[in-house]
């Protein structure tokens, strides 16, 4: 795809879900009952597992545009993802989770440690009570895949998958701890212990 074609696709993506223009008048307008956004059905967006955003099968080349769409990304309790403005909303497809944590910084140690992650759209997230880390395991291989909540709720979290390289950094910082009366290996951040895996019997 040449630069001109990519620019056209980005322009089309920008207009796929238009946000309303701000009012030009400085006078206070009378309050109107809040309206539910109009549902546009399925939109031709796909977020790949590696964090790449596609529109009609083509990668969105402008990072600023990806950040704009990410700012209006919502998730329902049924697990579906939507792009939603005050006037319109449409469902999009997400292969795994919308974001990838590509870098980690930390300070302190033990219970006083804090872990801050940078996502692929340059959003900074510090692990803690509002941004927990969880580890999922593949049913067949038991391979761990770690995630951190970027925003959302317990029932409809919007998460970033922690990249493999960053996960190795996490493991290097891990120490023994207890979770639900089980001996775990995990990391501390903002006073909270996040388990990465269970300690085998006999290990301290």
Pair (104, 90) in one structural domain: no
**Does 46 score more than 70 pLDDT?**
yes
**Does 1 score more than 80 pLDDT?**
no
Give the C-alpha separation, 178 to 181, whole Å: 6
**Does 182 score more than 60 pLDDT?**
yes
pTM surpassing 0.85? Answer: no
What is the tens place of the pLDDT at every residue in 73-89? 999 999 999 999 999 99
DSSP 46: E
**Does 25 score more than 50 pLDDT?**
no
Please give the share of the chain, as a percent, with pLDDT higher than 90: 69
> How many domains does one find in the chain?
2
Residue 22: the pLDDT is: 43
Q: Is the residue at 173 inside a domain?
A: yes
Pair (121, 108) in one structural domain: yes
Q: Is the residue at 26 inside a domain?
A: no
What is the tens place of the pLDDT at every residue in 109-165? 889 999 999 999 999 999 999 999 999 988 888 899 999 999 999 999 999 999 999
Q: Is the residue at 30 inside a domain?
A: no
Two structure tokens written together for 159: 């998460």
Q: Is the residue at 204 inside a domain?
A: no
**Does 24 score more than 80 pLDDT?**
no
Pair (85, 115) in one structural domain: no
| Final residue before a domain boundary, out of 50, 73, 94 | 94
Pair (119, 148) in one structural domain: yes
All residues at 6 or more sequence positions from 152 whose CB lies less than 8 Å from its CB, including other chains? 75, 158, 159
Cβ 150 vs Cβ 178: under 8 Å: no
Give the domain extent around 120: 99-198
**Does 203 score more than 60 pLDDT?**
no
Distances 93 to 33, 57, 80 between C-alpha atoms, Å:
31, 12, 8
Pair (81, 117) in one structural domain: no
Instruction: Compute the radius of gyration of the chain from its Cα atoms.
Output: 20
Pair (85, 62) in one structural domain: yes
Q: What's the CATH code of the domain at 119?
A: 2.30.270.10
Pair (76, 117) in one structural domain: no
Choose among 24, 36, 43: nearest CA to 86: 36
């Amino acid at each position: 795809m040449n630069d001109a074609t990519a620019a056209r696709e980005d322009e089309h993506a920008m207009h796929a879900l238009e946000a309303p223009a701000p009012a030009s008048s400085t006078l206070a307008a009378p309050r109107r009952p809040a309206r539910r956004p109009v549902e546009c059905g399925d939109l031709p967006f796909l977020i790949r597992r590696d964090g790449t955003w596609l529109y009609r099968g083509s990668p969105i080349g402008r990072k600023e545009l990806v950040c704009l769409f990410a700012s209006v990304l919502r998730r329902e309790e049924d697990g579906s993802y939507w792009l939603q403005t005050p006037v319109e909303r449409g469902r999009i497809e997400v292969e795994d989770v919308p974001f990838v944590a590509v870098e980690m910084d930390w300070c302190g140690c033990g219970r006083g440690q804090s872990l801050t992650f940078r996502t692929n759209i340059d959003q900074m997230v510090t692990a803690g009570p509002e941004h927990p880390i969880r580890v999922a395991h593949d049913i067949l291989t038991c391979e761990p895949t770690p995630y951190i909540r970027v925003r959302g709720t317990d029932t409809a979290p919007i998460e970033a998958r922690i990249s493999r390289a960053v996960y190795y950094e996490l493991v290097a910082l891990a120490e023994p701890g207890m979770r639900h009366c089980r001996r775990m290996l995990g990391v501390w951040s903002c006073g909270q212990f996040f388990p990465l895996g269970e300690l085998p019997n006999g290990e301290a």
